[in-house]
Amino acid sequence: MRTRPRYLPLIEAEPGMVLGTPVRVTRQGQHRYSLPAGHRLTGDNLRQLAAHHAEFIFVAEPDSRSDEEVAVDAANAAHRVLDIFSGADLADPTLAALFDQVLAYRSA
Amino acid sequence: MSKPCITRDEVLSRADELPAFPRIVVEILATLDDPDASLALLTEHIKQDPVITARVLAMANNAAARTRRLSMVRDVFTATSLIGVGRVRETAITTRVGHFVAGGVGSGRGMGFWRHSVAVGVCSEELAQHVALRTPGDLALVAGLLHDVGQLWLSRFRPDTSHESWNEALAHNDGIDVVERERFGVDHAEIGAWLAEHWKLPTSLISGIRHHHDAGTESDELLVPLLHVAEVLSNALDLGRRAENRVTRISSTACSRLGIVWDENIRPLFGRIEARSAHATSIFRHE
């Protein structure tokens, strides 16, 4: 099944969610707790993360949208990004690079 | 006939008509380098502030529920040990600045203004962490929360012209700072810096507020480029879903000074900022 990336607060995370990126909790430079990308979270993992004051995690969520819905969502997102950057001079390489990354992020 | 330019004297003479600036924020910033003093100050203040106490206890009990702690958390000391001093300090700052903004902003723009302030605060903190800046996270947060405090003054004391300035900026894709300088002889960044000086906020924070639209300026303060990039990014990501979210320029000098590269490795930062901003706005939505 297709997945889509999403950051979410730990309080919204649930057992069974799959990590999109590794989690590595450090405090004052010291490694405290880590989980690899692709790991399916358990209730115990969530309690451990909460106990170590982790706040946000990155999960790969199942994406049940049809291809058509994905295309419509991407078009709407792109339209809003173009609106926000409508007064920007995209000949400026820094501005163009920011625009490209925001557009790619919104299209994911 | 156009009104005369806004002067520093006018801004400061009317500053007293705004709610009192929260002293706890000034004191927290003054003790950031001294963790023991900071903790003592926080504990003392929170004990006398039922709103912050309630929020801290709610967060602690939420965390306790996740760790299967059975007893209810009822005191600030236990709560602090559960959620960490940093979160408690962040809650105190955001709660008090939120009350200040809610009491000071004119009608109409209150919620949008606050959402944008929170978003830029979160962006500033996350960017500082991303580029491993030595600026304390709490200073970056306060800078973001207060970067547009000059607009708060304008919307309170020149509401009609302030509103017209936004309309003109959006219609012509001009920067709001450019339109304000044409209409008032000064922009909200300068007005905000005057207010920050009046409240005796740290010099770096004053510079950050003053130059957040002009980050190419010569300044040793890294808070200047940080705040500039944070506001641009907040608008680029459409945080707060404001009609005013527009990106017309970004200082490449500011990006270089921070060491920010806009390539695909930046996208996880976008996700983190978006999630934290939504979360912070939901927590403090009643401000």
Residues A8 and A58 in one domain: yes
Q: Of B130, B131, B137, B125, which is closest to residue B259 (Cα–Cα)? A: B131
Q: Is the Cβ of A21 closer than 8 Å to some Cβ of chain B?
A: yes
Position B46 in a domain:
no
Position B80 in a domain:
no
Rounded to 5 degrees, what angle do the CA atoms B170, B176, B178 make? 120
Over 80: is that where the pLDDT of B275 sits?
yes
Could you give the ipTM of this predicted complex? Answer: 0.82
Q: Kindly report the three-state secondary structure assignment for every residue of B121-154.
A: HHHHHHHHHHCCCCCCHHHHHHHHHHCCHHHHHH
Find the domain containing A83 and state its range: 67-107
Question: What integer pLDDT is reported at residue B216 of this predicted model?
Answer: 72
Residues A74 and A101 in one domain: yes
Nearest-CA residue of chain B relative to A15? B66
* pLDDT tier at B268, thresholds 50, 70, 90: confident
Q: Check CB contact under 8 Å for A88 and B270.
A: no
Over 60: is that where the pLDDT of A2 sits?
yes
Which of B66, B84, B264 lies at the smallest CB-CB distance from A46?
B66
Which residues share a beta bridge with A19?
A: A59
Q: Rounded distance, CA B187 to CA B172, Å? A: 17
SS3 B106: coil
Residues A11 and A57 in one domain: yes
The CATH number given to whatever domain includes residue A46 is 3.90.105
* pLDDT tier at B1, thresholds 50, 70, 90: very low
Residues A56 and A92 in one domain: no
Question: What integer pLDDT is reported at residue A68 of this predicted model?
Answer: 92
Residues A50 and A82 in one domain: no
Contacts of B267 in chain A (CB under 8 A): 101, 104-105, 108
* pLDDT tier at B69, thresholds 50, 70, 90: low
Taking only the tens place, the pLDDT of each residue in B84-122 is: 788 888 888 888 888 888 777 655 566 788 889 989 999
Average pLDDT over residues B186-191: 96
- Is residue B117 within 8 A of residue B148, CB to CB? The reply is yes
Query: Which B residues in the span 107-166 are in contact with A, Cβ-Cβ below 8 Å?
Result: none
Over 70: is that where the pLDDT of B286 sits?
no
Residues A33 and A72 in one domain: no
Question: What integer pLDDT is reported at residue B70 of this predicted model?
Answer: 61
Position B173 in a domain:
yes
Q: Is the Cβ of A35 closer than 8 Å to some Cβ of chain B?
A: no
Average pLDDT over residues B72-86: 82
The DSSP string of A26-62 is: EETTEEEEEE-TTPBP-HHHHHHHHHTT--EEEEEEE
Residues A55 and A8 in one domain: yes
Find the domain containing B237 and state its range: 8-14+96-283
Position B79 in a domain:
no
Residues A9 and A32 in one domain: yes
Residue with tokens 């003093």: B37
With residue A71 as reference, give the H or E element that holds it. Answer: helix A67-84
Q: Rounded distance, CA B284 to CA B95, Å? A: 7
Q: Is the Cβ of B198 closer than 8 Å to some Cβ of chain A?
A: no
Q: Rounded distance, CA B159 to CA B183, Å? A: 13
Question: What integer pLDDT is reported at residue B287 of this predicted model?
Answer: 46
Position B34 in a domain:
no
The CATH number given to whatever domain includes residue B183 is 1.10.3210.10
Burial of B77 (0-12, 13-18, 19+ CB in 10 A): exposed
Domains in chain A, number: 2
Cα dist. B130→B45, B103, B126 in Å?
A: 31, 33, 6
Q: Rounded distance, CA B26 to CA B46, Å? A: 15
Residues A58 and A24 in one domain: yes
Helices (H), chain B: 8-15, 23-30, 35-47, 50-66, 76-83, 85-104, 110-130, 137-146, 149-157, 159-172, 176-184, 188-198, 203-210, 223-236, 252-258, 267-283
Nearest-CA residue of chain A relative to B87? A53
Q: What distance in Å separates residue A107's CA from the closest CA in chain B?
A: 12
Over 90: is that where the pLDDT of B191 sits?
yes
Contacts of A15 in chain B (CB under 8 A): none
Average pLDDT over residues B54-70: 77
Q: Is the Cβ of A87 closer than 8 Å to some Cβ of chain B?
A: yes
Position B72 in a domain:
no
Direct distance between the N- and C-terminal alpha carbons of chain B, in angstroms, rounded to an integer: 37
* pLDDT tier at B273, thresholds 50, 70, 90: very high
Q: What distance in Å separates residue B23's CA from the closest CA in chain A?
A: 28
Q: Is the Cβ of A64 closer than 8 Å to some Cβ of chain B?
A: no
Average pLDDT over residues A14-28: 86
Question: What integer pLDDT is reported at residue B285 of this predicted model?
Answer: 59
Taking only the tens place, the pLDDT of each residue in B123-132 is: 999 999 898 8
CA dihedral defined by A35, A9, A70, A84, rounded to 10 degrees?
Answer: -120
Question: What integer pLDDT is reported at residue B106 of this predicted model?
Answer: 54
Over 60: is that where the pLDDT of B2 sits?
no
Contacts of B248 in chain A (CB under 8 A): 87-89
Residues A58 and A84 in one domain: no
Domains in chain B, number: 1
Nearest-CA residue of chain A relative to B266? A101
Position B221 in a domain:
yes
* pLDDT tier at A54, thresholds 50, 70, 90: confident
Radius of gyration of chain B (CA): 19
Rounded percentage of chain B residues whose pLDDT exceeds 90: 41
Neighbours of A103 (CB within 10 A): 16
Going by the DSSP 8-state scheme, the letter that residue A5 receives in this structure is E
Position B223 in a domain:
yes
